[in-house]
Amino acid sequence: MSKILDHINFPTDLRRLSVEELTQLAQELREFIINIVATKEGHLGASLGVVELTIALHYVFNTPKDLLIWDVGHQAYGHKILTGRKEVFHTNRQLGGISGFPKRSESEYDTFGVGHSSTSISAALGMAIASQLKGEDNHHIAVIGDASIASGMAFEGLNHAGVTKANLLVILNDNAIGIDPSVGALKQYLTNVKTGTQQQDNIFEALNFDYSGPIDGHDLPKIITELERLKTVKGPKFLHVITTKGKGLKQAEEHQVKYHSPGKFNAVTGELIIKSNLHQPPKFQDVFGYTIVELAKQNEKIIGITPAMPTGSSLKYMMDELPKRAFDVGIAEQHAVTLAAGMATQGLIPFCNIYSTFLQRAYDQVIHDVALQNLPVIFCLDRAGLVGQDGATHHGVFDLVYLRCIPNLILFSPRNEIELRNIMYTAQLGLQHPIAIRYPRGRGTLLNWEQDFKSIAIGTGICLKKGAKKAVLSIGSISENVSKALDLMTKKQSLEISHYDMRFIKPLDEKLLHTIFETYDSVFTIEDGVINGGFGSAILEFAAKNNYKTSIKVLGIDDDFVHHGTIQELQQQCKLDPEHLKNWFLN
């Protein structure tokens, strides 16, 4: 039987349908998303939850003239499929395929590039003010989730919008969960609104928004009627919509955390296709999670902090075992950093775990609140380096550069699980400075990683392999590719090359560097971050300062954004895979 979706490529097509047909389309769109995500992987629950809302928005509003902005954008799969990308949706997040997030270069319907949360209200307000100034009468709609609206940036946008006459509609997609359960007082407020037990004034009305809702976000006719009404209301408007994350797939509704981004699953039954963990090295995240619990049981000053990523970072283990000492503060990176700083002033030892890419949002807090006051906060920067399919918005490739320039901050990158454990151990023994420990997404290399702790002397690198002529200096887990590159060489070739794991980008092991520059004809540096200002730059600066004339080749990520693909594919693209490294070292 022919499907309605077969005939829908753009919103103009769906605007010809009856409301009954739209309901059928919603069913088909869900199936389409499920079928493709089941094999290609990606974010699932969020897109399933907004199927009706997506259809209603494109039905009622004149997109792309009316500007629609999806916050984070992980929920925009339906939007992509209905705006010209149905035929290429199977390439979602794959190398050379479409992005998992809205992206301006991909479609005129993607009005704003997203990936990091809570930007939609500011962006939509900016567009609305621009339209006003240009004398245009189009609509501007920000769709934001209940976890994302609790972030500082979103509040800043609401605060400004409320004193404008901008033609702005903020739609709160409230499914009462982020990746993990939503947290905080605003979440409680929204629950009270939903259950009718809210006693105080409506927050959004108090901020001068025309508030409506809460309405059932799966009731298509109701949403359409409400959006039609809102189209006629002037100034800033706020619609509160209640949805179910994972709607339409039983397992995704019942296990919303897991099905946020479930990996491969059976499209018919919803069952996950689970890869065995047996005889596999652990994920760095789990090493962090188990180690912090182990250390915290011995040292009562240790605190764990995550801004909204307890499952992803594995801080969840500590939250389960030591709930009074582990905090999920919601999507609030800036707050997480300054909260840690406050705790450190009182003698606590905060481990503040933040994805490298999301720490970008708390840069001033790292400098002003932590480093300037030299407070011994321990930053654990997860997802450092290339992260894979999330792509350009999420790669943690800038941290070495943006952290290296900050006085007082120690910067370390473990090459393996044991080094991660040992630096965590060392850090909680009592450092005189803050430290950032950056490690990658995914598995390490060791099966026997649960060894007794040994402290690491700050500012020391180590030699992993001795050779005669050339020295390769690596930082962090990319060291594994260097070892593999050496394995690809003939014995004679490999005998020429030494390999050092410098471990600390700051302070550099200057004693070791003097030995290296006095010994070898040429030096290679390698890092899984951008090279303009990172580890290689630090080595170049050292060599220049000390008048070494040795040839230095800096390997890493060029001055460009890296898009999506598997980590292996992207390493090849950046010429950081073992084969390319071998060629660099031999030529």
Ligand X SMILES: Cc1ncc(C[n+]2csc(CCOP(=O)(O)OP(=O)(O)O)c2C)c(N)n1
From 361, 438, 506, 582, the catalytic residue: 361
H or E stretch including 188?
A: helix 185-195
Closest residue (Cβ) to Mg ion?
145
Q: Is 116 annotated as a binding residue?
A: yes
- Between CA 52 and CA 311 the distance in angstroms is 28
Question: Does residue 361 have an active-site annotation?
Answer: yes
Return the number of the residue (74 or 421) whose C-beta is nearest ligand DXP: 74
Alpha helices in 300-443 (DSSP H): 310-313, 316-321, 333-345, 356-359, 363-364, 399-404, 417-428
Q: Which stretch binds ligand DXP (CB under 6 A): 83-91, 335-343, 383-391, 571-579?
A: 383-391
From 93, 245, 325, 404, the catalytic residue: 245
Return the number of the residue (43 or 563) whose C-beta is nearest ligand DXP: 43
Question: Does residue 16 have an active-site annotation?
Answer: no
Q: What is the DSSP string of 71-125?
A: SSSTT-HHHHIIIIITTTGGGTTSTTS--SS--TTT-TT--S--SSSS-HHHHHH
Q: Does 145 bind Mg ion (CB under 5 A)?
A: yes
Q: Which stretch binds ligand DXP (CB under 6 A): 167-175, 342-350, 382-390, 443-451?
A: 382-390
Q: Minimal CA–CA distance to 461: which of 414, 426, 399, 408? A: 414
Question: Does residue 443 have an active-site annotation?
Answer: no
> For the chain, how are helix, strand and coil distributed in percent, rounded to 5?
45, 15, 40
Torsion sign over Cα 421, 424, 429, 435: positive
Contact 530, 398 (CB under 8 A): yes
Q: Is 494 annotated as a binding residue?
A: no
DSSP 259: G
Q: Which of 72, 171, 183, 257 binds ligand X (CB under 6 A)?
A: 72
Return the number of the residue (59 or 77) whose C-beta is nearest ligand X: 77
Question: What is the nearest approach in angstroms of Mg ion to the Cβ of residue 192?
Answer: 17
Q: Which of 22, 33, 34, 72 binds ligand DXP (CB under 6 A)?
A: 72
Question: What is the nearest approach in angstroms of ligand X to the Cβ of residue 219?
Answer: 18
Instruction: Identify the residue whose tokens are 């011994």.
Output: 376
Return the number of the residue (115 or 534) whose C-beta is nearest ligand DXP: 115
DSSP helix/strand/coil, 356:
helix
- Three-class SS string for 6-34? HHCCCHHHHCCCCHHHHHHHHHHHHHHHH
533: exposed, middle or buried (C-beta count within 10 Å: 0-12, 13-18, 19+)? middle
DSSP helix/strand/coil, 291:
helix
DSSP helix/strand/coil, 218:
coil
Q: Does 177 bind ligand X (CB under 6 A)?
A: yes
Return the number of the residue (45 or 213) whose C-beta is nearest ligand DXP: 45
Q: Print the binding letters for residues 177-206 with Mg ion: x by CB under 5 A, - otherwise.
A: x-----------------------------
Closest residue (Cβ) to ligand X?
145
Q: Is 253 annotated as a binding residue?
A: no
- Between CA 544 and CA 528 the distance in angstroms is 23
Q: Is 369 annotated as a binding residue?
A: no
Q: Minimal CA–CA distance to 142: which of 131, 129, 152, 127? A: 127
**Which of ligand DXP, ligand X, Mg ion, none lies near 433, with the C-beta cut-off 5 to 8 A by kind?**
none
Q: Which structure tokens are listed for 250?
A: 């039983």
Q: What is the DSSP string of 364-375?
A: HIIIIIIITTT-
**Which of ligand DXP, ligand X, Mg ion, none lies near 99, with the C-beta cut-off 5 to 8 A by kind?**
none
Phi/psi of residue 171, nearest 5 degrees: -110, 120
On the CB side of 93, how many CA atoms lie within 13 Å of its CA? 25
From 41, 52, 226, 333, the catalytic residue: 333
Q: Does 74 bind ligand DXP (CB under 6 A)?
A: yes
- Between CA 521 and CA 528 the distance in angstroms is 24
Question: What is the nearest approach in angstroms of ligand X to the Cβ of residue 518?
Answer: 45
Q: Which of 146, 180, 333, 390 binds ligand DXP (CB under 6 A)?
A: 390
Q: Which structure tokens are listed for 42?
A: 């990606």
Instruction: Scan residues 243-262 and list those touching ligand X (CB under 6 A).
Output: 245
Q: Does 52 bind ligand X (CB under 6 A)?
A: no
Burial 317-353 (b: 16+ CB within 10 A, else e): bbbeebeebbbbbbbbbbbbbbbbbebbeeebbbbbb
Return the number of the residue (80 or 503) whose C-beta is nearest ligand X: 80
Closest residue (Cβ) to ligand DXP?
312
Q: Is 117 annotated as a binding residue?
A: yes
Q: Which stretch binds Mg ion (CB under 5 A): 94-102, 170-178, 356-364, 544-552?
A: 170-178
Q: Does 358 bind ligand X (CB under 6 A)?
A: yes
Q: How many residues does the chain have?
A: 587
Q: Does 381 bind ligand X (CB under 6 A)?
A: no
Q: Which stretch binds ligand X (CB under 6 A): 139-147, 275-283, 414-422, 454-462?
A: 139-147
**Which of ligand X, ligand DXP, Mg ion, none lies near 383, with the C-beta cut-off 5 to 8 A by kind?**
ligand DXP
Q: Does 383 bind ligand DXP (CB under 6 A)?
A: yes
Q: Print the binding letters for residues 28-47 with ligand DXP: x by CB under 6 A, - otherwise.
A: ---------------x----
Instruction: Scan residues 392-451 and list those touching Mg ion (CB under 5 A).
Output: none
Q: Does 79 bind ligand DXP (CB under 6 A)?
A: no
DSSP helix/strand/coil, 434:
coil
Q: Which of 11, 78, 97, 145 binds ligand X (CB under 6 A)?
A: 145
Does residue 507 have a cis bond before it (omega within 30 degrees)? yes
Q: Which residues are annotated as a binding site for Mg(2+)?
A: 146, 175
Q: Which residues are annotated as a binding site?
A: 74, 115-117, 146-148, 175, 333
Residues making contact with ligand DXP (CB under 6 A): 43, 72, 74, 179, 261, 312, 383, 387, 390, 441
Residues making contact with Mg ion (CB under 5 A): 145-147, 175, 177
Q: Which residues are annotated as a binding site for thiamine diphosphate?
A: 74, 115-117, 147-148, 175, 333
Known catalytic residues? 245, 333, 361
Residues making contact with ligand X (CB under 6 A): 46, 72, 74-75, 116-117, 145-148, 173, 175, 177-179, 245, 308, 331, 333, 358, 361
